[in-house]
Structure 1
């Protein structure tokens, strides 16, 4: 687990997801977060990496497709230039 000063508060997590704090508490109760710690004052702290993974679940699996097209055979050289820019 990360050092406590690098962790996110429940308010920061709620703001990241655009939900209220009560919703984040409910998610904790339902086990949505795996890496939650409690401070000495019994406040929840969240791992920023876990929050990022939840906000962007497919960020490592993203596929980018490039598409080049021209209207006629006479513009074939334009198609080659487009394809080079896409790579």
Structure 2
């Protein structure tokens, strides 16, 4: 986790400016949850983490901001 680079604050600020308190945020490929934690500052009603690796999903359970954790990968998500 510490070895992974962080995300630029400008990216989170841009998301905040485009989406003022969205209902739902989906972190596709949530991994360690580093981005998920940052997205939590946007104060969405629901934060969903989607991650295909079971060990990563277990770690995501320690992030209280996440309301739902789904086993899945980008090519398996039924969005069009």
TM range (shorter): under 0.3
Q: Which has the higher strand share?
A: 2
Structure whose residues are more often helix by fraction: 1
TM-score w.r.t. length of structure 2: 0.28
Q: Which has the larger radius of gyration?
A: 1
